[in-house]
């Protein structure tokens, strides 16, 4: 058997399985492992090529009869702060997003569990245990961080951190030209706040503050109501056969 270096990616193809986004469709994925000393550079390169990260796996759709999944990234410098987005920022001005190392906590998992049970009870992640969650957060060989959102407290001006119950969490990868939102979740009982939108808007602002031109949002799936929200964050680029192209509509 030929031995391969941990720094040389090997690509594999999954067997067909039911598509979680489009009824009646099946999906296949091509994937590789993100391990070894070159994992951050490989994650960077593959994300630019339309891959997403899940723990130590980078994957992208490789469906035989469907091309509905399209990689999306937001152009930060020209981002359009609509009235709705400004209202969202104002409504959540009492929140502080504090960065930390990707270390899971029981409080995070409680919020994660409540979010799944409320929003994605029939999804592929519905049965995730506390150990599964810990693996999702910790198992990374790339530049990953957590952002925890809490309300401002009496000492927030000094500590830079919020206080009180956890409101939302984002797991984020740092790339050479942007941030990639790997996964985010929030308190489902705070629907009026639009916390999912707030997390994205906050990361647009973080990209701008760090001088990063793009925020990677993963896949937009035409025909899937679950993914339609991504179209609102403009201008955005979609990855097509000719590379990254601005989306006009």
Half-sphere exposure of 131 (CA within 13 A, CB side): 0
In terms of domains, do 143 and 55 share one? no
Q: For residues 32 and 89, state if they share a domain.
A: no
Domain range for 148 is 83-206
Beta strand 214-221 pairing with 178-186: parallel
Report pTM: 0.92
Both 187 and 96 in a single domain? yes
- Check pLDDT > 50 for residue 82: yes
Helices 130-138 and 106-119, interaxial angle, to 10°?
110
Whether the pLDDT of residue 2 is over 50: the answer is no
Q: Is pLDDT above 70 for 233?
A: yes
pLDDT tens per residue, range 170-227: 999 999 999 999 999 999 999 899 999 999 999 999 999 999 999 999 999 988 888 9
pLDDT in tens, 61-79: 999 889 999 999 999 999 9
58/140 same-domain check: no
Greater confidence (27 vs 119) lies with: 27
Q: Is residue 243 part of a domain?
A: no
How many domains is the chain built from? 2
Residues 6+ apart with CB under 8 A from 18: 25, 26, 27
Claim to verify: residue 108 and residue 171 sit in the same structural domain: yes
Residue 109 and residue 56 share a domain? no
Query: What rounded mean pLDDT belongs to the chain?
Result: 92
Dihedral through CA 18, CA 20, CA 26, CA 27, nearest 10?
-110
């Amino acid at each position: 058997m030929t031995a391969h270096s941990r720094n040389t990616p090997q690509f594999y193809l999954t067997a067909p399985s039911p598509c979680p986004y489009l009824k009646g469709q099946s999906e296949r994925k091509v994937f590789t492992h993100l391990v070894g000393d070159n994992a951050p550079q490989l994650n960077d390169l593959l994300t630019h090529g339309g891959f997403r990260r899940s723990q130590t796996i980078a994957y992208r759709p490789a469906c035989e009869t469907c091309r509905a999944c399209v990689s999306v990234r937001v152009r930060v410098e020209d981002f359009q702060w609509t009235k709705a987005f400004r209202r969202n920022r104002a409504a959540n001005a009492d929140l502080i997003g504090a960065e930390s190392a990707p270390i899971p906590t029981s409080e995070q998992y409680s919020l994660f569990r409540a979010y799944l049970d409320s929003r994605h009870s029939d999804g592929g992640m519905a049965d995730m245990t506390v150990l599964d969650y810990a693996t999702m957060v910790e198992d990374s060989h790339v530049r990953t961080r957590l952002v925890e959102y809490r309300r401002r407290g009496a000492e927030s001006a000094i500590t830079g951190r919020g206080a009180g119950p956890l409101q939302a969490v984002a797991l984020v990868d740092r790339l050479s030209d942007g941030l990639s939102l790997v996964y985010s979740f929030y308190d489902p009982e705070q629907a009026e706040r639009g916390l999912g939108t707030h997390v994205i808007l906050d990361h647009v602002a973080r990209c701008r503050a760090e001088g990063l031109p793009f925020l990677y949002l993963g896949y937009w799936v035409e025909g899937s109501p679950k993914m339609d929200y991504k179209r609102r964050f403009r201008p955005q680029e979609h990855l097509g056969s000719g590379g990254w192209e601005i989306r006009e509509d």
